[in-house]
Amino acid sequence: EDQVTQSPEALRLQEGESSSLNCSYTVSGLRGLFWYRQDPGKGPEFLFTLYSAGEEKEKERLKATLTKKESFLHITAPKPEDSATYLCAVRGAAGNKLTFGGGTRVLVKP
Amino acid sequence: DAGVIQSPRHEVTEMGQEVTLRCKPISGHDYLFWYRQTMMRGLELLIYFNNNVPIDDSGMPEDRFSAKMPNASFSTLKIQPSEPRDSAVYFCASSLSSGVYGYTFGSGTRLTVV
């Protein structure tokens, strides 16, 4: 069974204070590690898909990296609008479903 | 494209009543997923369809839950009878089989059973 664990559960940052979120996973035959952003009252919004160890993707102040056992989401010089819950999910060899972690709630204070 | 459309946005019902949640996926997507989100358990997959056929319903909590996809542009999730522990936000998502553009989620239906 695929499993995803995210840490920390919550993160409070000052504007401009860079940090990283962790996503540890166990999966049979990784066919994609997905990062999503979720704002209160909304559905998860797709950010990145990573497929193989060593792969990196960037979008504005966000950068996602992948190893064989974990992924990191780096937030560089965050702004208050980066406040959200960030979700990590994996798609394994068994089917086309995503298994999600519990998320990291990020609050960026001005 | 308007994205994945779910209705209603909010539903308050009494215990024992039937509840039907609706979803219109993105046109051309061949996979449709129903997820449930709670504070305690996070996002859990309930069931998913490929080309309108149910593939995996192992996440459906019990026989009170049922889902259908009569055509490529419509799906329903029904709870009968509803119970207070069913209170959650229910999300529908759709994707292409490759998943390369991610899975697109709707805005969700917040269900409260009193």
Q: Could you please report the per-residue DSSP string of chain B?
A: ----EEE-SEEEE-TT--EEEEEEPPTT--EEEEEEEETTTEEEEEEEEETTEEEE-TT--STTEEEEEEETTEEEEEESS--GGG-EEEEEEEE-TT-TT--EE---EEEEE-
Q: Among B50, B102, B108, whose Cβ lies nearest the Cβ of A46?
A: B102
pLDDT in the model for residue B101: 72
Cα–Cα dist B113/A58, whole Å? 41
pLDDT means per 10 residues, chain B with 114 residues, are: 92 97 96 96 95 94 94 97 97 86 92 98
pLDDT in the model for residue A95: 79
Burial label for B35, CB within 10 Å (0-12, 13-18, 19+), is: buried
Contact B42 A103 (CB under 8 A): yes
Q: Considering only CA atoms, which of B112, B90, B82 is closest in space to residue B18?
A: B82
pLDDT in the model for residue B98: 72
Q: What are phi and psi of B80, to 5 degrees?
A: -150, 115
With H, G, I as helix, E, B as strand and everything else as coil, classify residue A17.
coil
Work out whether strand B31-38 and strand B88-95 pair parallel, antiparallel, or are unpaired: antiparallel
Contact B42 A101 (CB under 8 A): yes
Q: How far is A22 from chain B (nearest CA, A)?
A: 17
pLDDT in the model for residue B72: 95
The C-alpha angle with vertex A48 and arms to A45 and A49, in degrees rounded to 5, equals: 120
Contact B99 A31 (CB under 8 A): yes
What residues in chain B have their Cβ under 8 A from chain A's Cβ atoms? Answer: 4, 31, 33, 42-43, 45, 48, 50, 55-56, 91, 93, 95, 97, 99-108
Check CB contact of A31 with chain B, cutoff 8 Å.
yes
pLDDT in the model for residue B1: 66
Regions of chain A where pLDDT drops below 70: none
Check CB contact of A32 with chain B, cutoff 8 Å.
yes
Task: Suggest the residue from A98, A99, A104 to mutate for an interface test with chain B (most B CBs closer than 10 A).
Answer: A98
Contacts of A104 (CB under 8 A, 6+ apart): A6, A7, A8, A9, A10, A11, A21, A85, A86
pLDDT in the model for residue A27: 92
Q: Among A42, A43, A91, whose Cβ lies nearest the Cβ of B99?
A: A91
Q: How far is B19 from chain A (nearest CA, A)?
A: 20
pLDDT in the model for residue B66: 97
